[in-house]
Amino acid sequence: MNDSIFVHDHPTTPPALPTDIPAECLRQAPLNLPNAAELDVLRHYTRLSQKNFAIDTQFYPLGSCTMKYNPRIAHAMASLPGFARLHPDTPAPAMQGLLQVLWELQEWLAAATGMAAVSLTPAAGAQGELAGVAMIRAYHQSRGDHGRNKMLIPTAAHGTNPASAQMAGFEVIEIPNLADGDLDMAALDAHLGPDVAGIMLTNPSTLGVFERRIAEIAQHVHAAGGLLYYDGANLNAILGRVQPGQMGFDVMHLNLHKTFATPHGGGGPGAGAVAVQARLQPFLPLPTVHKEGPGTLRWLSELDVPQSIGRLSAHGGNIGVLLRAHAYMRRLGRAGVRRVSAYAALNANYLLKELQRVGYQAAFPQRRASHEFILSVSDLHKATGIRALDVAKRLLDFGIHAPTIYFPQLVPECLLIEPTETESKATLDRFVAVMAQIRQEALEQPELLREAPHHLPVGRLDEALAARRLDVAALS
């Protein structure tokens, strides 16, 4: 383990506090953050960084997260002083460069999704979901349709879907999936009715397969007066090829930190832009950018958009992330955007085929992979007691980040694998070879997996102890 930053502290005498501030407002106990030398700080955090797995250093096939290459040029562009030093309350005439970028991004995302309008403000997917279902709510209410308090969500959906629906005041109804991965239409129909506000779907679904009856679903939901929400987490699978708008969705979010290659940053920041069909446009969260003419762009406010669901953060959202997404889209252009889904699908289907070849079981063997796919190691589990967790931990020993495990929960002992389009065949082939070796180890030396990882700074951590002790801050 690295030393704590606190070991680098050099005690100092706190300064005399201002005398023109009432004593009752002033700090009591001296602030106790470490006073460390600049080199010690630099060294500490540089060395900590080296303990991370990251896209820049490892293959990172974390399903549902689209861990693709984050172009360094996007970081450079977002860091230009002309953007980085801009105060949010700068009047519009003095930030036309930024507004032009944001306006273009709105336009491009609308084009990419087949939607009428976009708001860039949500800070991540989950906030986009909240905005989306809030718009659904506002839409129904604007029509005087007040009884729609239920949101349908597939059992396999990501946890943020029900959490967001709940946060927007909806009751969540779960809809099961069939064995082939598609939604259970009968269950859906059984729930549709005047109390249903809409349904939240991911397509391709979190099961890694395309929901084939999406047109039919849309028709049924719409017929029942509901709206369709599209969780854009899996947009990478169909980018430039299938527009959610064309599938019948009314409102959606995009995870720019997935599909549009902005960095995941060890857990954010992301950006969860929302896109809507025309009838939902009046409800978009604020602010959005409006172009009156070249060089005359401005933010829209409550005065312009009185029906808006309002604001989700104090300013315009995660603008630095939006700048990166803009740079990425501009670099790729029309053809490049379409190639994303093409090669994401190629990599996923190739990997699925190869992993099946070396003995792994697909959760949906009759289906094409989308940009990702699910393996289940239930067979290994039965034969040797080895669990998906053990396979994941052993992968770390080979310098490969583990896939997502135990999500979606309905597939037992599952690994959700998403290679992304930016990985080369050579990287995939190495992954297959390692997975083949791990499978053999599972059968021959299962303890090698059960005790993995062996070659990392720490072994498996005692999570129960962590929760019990709850040592979440160094005591001063």
Ligand X SMILES: Cc1ncc(COP(=O)(O)O)c(C=O)c1O
Partner residues linked to 311 by β-bridges: 286
Q: Taking the complex as a whole, how short is the minimal distance between the CB of residue 125 and ligand X, in angstroms? A: 2
Q: Which of 424, 437, 440, 445 binds a second copy (CB under 8 A)?
A: 424
Which x/- pattern over 372-411 shows residues binding a second copy (rule: CB under 8 A)? ----------------------------------------
Using CA atoms, how far apart are residues 160 and 166, in angstroms rounded to an integer? 10
Q: Taking the complex as a whole, how short is the minimal distance between the CB of residue 423 and a second copy, in angstroms? A: 7
User: Does residue 75 bind a second copy (CB under 8 A)?
Assistant: no
Strands 289-291 and 297-299: antiparallel
Using CA atoms, how far apart are residues 246 and 291, in angstroms rounded to an integer? 26
- Binding partner of residue 222 among other proteins, ligand X, a second copy, none, CB under 5 to 8 Å per kind? none
Within 222-251, the residues that bind other proteins by CB under 8 A are 238, 240-243, 246-247
**Token pair 């949906």: residue:** 364
User: Does residue 210 bind other proteins (CB under 8 A)?
Assistant: yes
Residue partners of 88: CB distance under 8 A and separation at least 6: 314, 315, 316
Interacting stretch for a second copy, rule CB under 8 A, among 50-58, 282-290, 320-328, 378-386? 50-58
- Binding partner of residue 206 among a second copy, other proteins, ligand X, none, CB under 5 to 8 Å per kind? ligand X
C-alpha count within 13 angstroms, C-beta hemisphere, residue 24: 0
Q: Which of 4, 32, 35, 50 binds a second copy (CB under 8 A)?
A: 50
Q: Which of 7, 26, 190, 223 binds a second copy (CB under 8 A)?
A: 7
Residue partners of 112: CB distance under 8 A and separation at least 6: 239, 240, 243, 329, 337
**Token pair 């699978």: residue:** 237
Q: Taking the complex as a whole, how short is the minimal distance between the CB of residue 352 and ligand X, in angstroms? A: 19
3-state secondary structure of 427: helix
Using CA atoms, how far apart are residues 184 and 189, in angstroms rounded to an integer? 9
Centroid of chain to Cα 150: 24
Instruction: State both tokens at 392.
Output: 């994941």
For 246-314, what is the HEC assignment? HHCCCEEEECHHHHCCCCCCCCCCCCCCEEECHHHHHHCCECCEEECCCCCEEECCCCCCCCCCCECCC
- Binding partner of residue 185 among ligand X, a second copy, other proteins, none, CB under 5 to 8 Å per kind? none
Q: Whose Cβ is closer to ligand X: residue 231's or residue 423's?
A: 231
Q: Taking the complex as a whole, how short is the minimal distance between the CB of residue 45 and a second copy, in angstroms? A: 10
Q: Which of 61, 62, 66, 71 binds a second copy (CB under 8 A)?
A: 71
Strands 227-232 and 251-254: parallel
Q: Which of 232, 422, 449, 452 binds a second copy (CB under 8 A)?
A: 422
User: Does residue 464 bind a second copy (CB under 8 A)?
Assistant: no
- Binding partner of residue 231 among a second copy, ligand X, other proteins, none, CB under 5 to 8 Å per kind? ligand X
User: Does residue 135 bind other proteins (CB under 8 A)?
Assistant: no
Using CA atoms, how far apart are residues 193 and 424, in angstroms rounded to an integer? 48
- Binding partner of residue 433 among ligand X, a second copy, other proteins, none, CB under 5 to 8 Å per kind? none
Q: Which of 147, 176, 194, 336 binds other proteins (CB under 8 A)?
A: 336
User: Does residue 179 bind other proteins (CB under 8 A)?
Assistant: no
Q: Which of 211, 231, 250, 423 binds a second copy (CB under 8 A)?
A: 423
C-alpha count within 13 angstroms, C-beta hemisphere, residue 125: 28
- If you write DSSP's letter for every residue of 97-145 in order, what string do you get? HHHHHHHHHHHHHHHHHT-SEEE---SSHHHHHHHHHHHHHHHHHHTT-
User: Does residue 302 bind a second copy (CB under 8 A)?
Assistant: no
Q: Taking the complex as a whole, how short is the minimal distance between the CB of residue 263 and other proteins, in angstroms? A: 5
Strands 196-202 and 227-232: parallel
Site residues (CB under 6 A) for ligand X?
64-65, 124-126, 158, 160, 202, 206, 231, 233, 255, 270, 272
Q: Taking the complex as a whole, how short is the minimal distance between the CB of residue 357 and a second copy, in angstroms? A: 23
DSSP class of residue 152 equals E
Q: Taking the complex as a whole, how short is the minimal distance between the CB of residue 127 and ligand X, in angstroms? A: 7
Task: Let me know if 1 is exposed, middle or buried by CB neighbors in 10 A (0-12, 13-18, 19+).
Answer: exposed
- Binding partner of residue 67 among ligand X, other proteins, a second copy, none, CB under 5 to 8 Å per kind? other proteins
Within 256-315, the residues that bind other proteins by CB under 8 A are 257, 261, 263-270, 285, 302, 309-315
Using CA atoms, how far apart are residues 77 and 217, in angstroms rounded to an integer? 42
The torsion region of residue 228 among left (phi > 0), alpha (psi -120 to 50) and beta comes to beta
Which x/- pattern over 83-122 shows residues binding other proteins (rule: CB under 8 A)? xxxxxxxxx-xxxxxx-xx------x--xx-x--------
Query: Residues in the site for a second copy, rule: CB under 8 A?
Result: 7-8, 37-40, 42-43, 46-47, 50, 55-58, 69, 71-72, 422-424, 426-427
